[in-house]
Amino acid sequence: MTKKTKYSILSALILIIVYGVNFYQDKEIQDKAVTVGATTKETTKTFFLPTSTTGQIIHHNGYSLSYNEEFEQAEWVAYELKKEHLSKKNFKRPYFEIDKAVKTNAANWRNYKKSGYDKGHLCPAGDRRYSKAAHNETFLTSNISPQEHKFNAGLWNRIEQKTRYWAGRYNGVFVVTGGVLKGKMKTIGDEAVAVPNQFYKIILDYNNGAPKVIAFLTPHKDSKEPLYNYVVSVNSVEALTGIDFFPELDDAIESKIEASDNYKNWRF
């Protein structure tokens, strides 16, 4: 056996070992993060989770999501935004990374390259500035959806800022957000990532003994109109998406607050 052949065999063995280590590390990440089926009441985070139409719910430290492989993005991202989470710290933006916890494989960030669309956060980095780790965790590709820049920096950003305002005013809120993955949609990239025609954000205040909820449903375009023009009932978003947003709430409370589109008990 020549020296060149020995080096070739050794190189091949090293590659196999590295691949094996990476495979088992990724598998460990998936097993820790992914829950299939119903959620539990073990923590506040899981207590308020919506239902999943795909059966693939992933729990990260700062948020949970239900991944829809057909459209290569989350159908919803859910998280608590506590008053103590609010911070004006500025961390350096990291590179986007593929979410290895998605068993069906999350979309690659390269789908967005030269697409004309922003990598629109669903759980905003601005809601997770209480630590660098929490901030950086929002830069996973399972937490983004294609958004027009003017919409992302305009109407959508205004709703995100208002959400932070309410988190401070009401001592924390629970947030569920996503694109409406229905109907005819454009796609981008080699993996055909869907571009939603509408986006929603639902905010629940559950802290003062009198739960209230507000839901926004917006077209995928910028607007200067007042935010309350986009307020709808949770029931209407459920009808569009097929998602039950607060199944663990007491039925009487759920029925009452999800049917209302009254925004007057929220301070605008």
Residue 172's pLDDT is: 93
Q: Give me Rg for the CA atoms of the chain.
A: 20
Residue 48's pLDDT is: 81
d(CA 192, CA 107): 9
Residue 68's pLDDT is: 98
Domains of the chain by residue range:
1-33, 36-259
CATH 3.40.570.10 fits 36-259, yes or no: yes
| Residue of 132, 241, 119, 131 whose CA lies nearest to 177 | 241
Residue 5's pLDDT is: 52
DSSP 5-28: HHHHHHHHHHHHHHHHHHHHHHHH
Residue 24's pLDDT is: 45
CB 130 within 8 A of CB 87: yes
| Residue of 244, 243, 242 whose CA lies nearest to 255 | 244
Residue 208's pLDDT is: 74
d(CA 216, CA 206): 18
CB 176 within 8 A of CB 197: no
Return the SS3 of 198: strand
Instruction: Show pLDDT as tens, one digit a residue, over the chain (268 residues).
Output: 555 454 555 555 544 444 444 444 444 444 444 443 333 334 445 668 999 999 999 999 999 999 999 999 999 999 999 999 999 999 999 999 999 999 999 999 999 999 999 999 999 999 999 999 999 999 999 999 999 999 999 999 999 999 999 999 999 999 999 999 999 999 999 999 999 999 999 999 987 778 999 999 999 999 999 999 999 999 999 999 999 999 988 899 999 999 999 999 998 8
Residue 93's pLDDT is: 94
d(CA 118, CA 74): 16
Q: Where are the alpha helices (DSSP H) in 88-245?
A: 132-137, 149-153, 155-169, 234-241
Residue 267's pLDDT is: 86
Token look-up 């899981």 returns 46
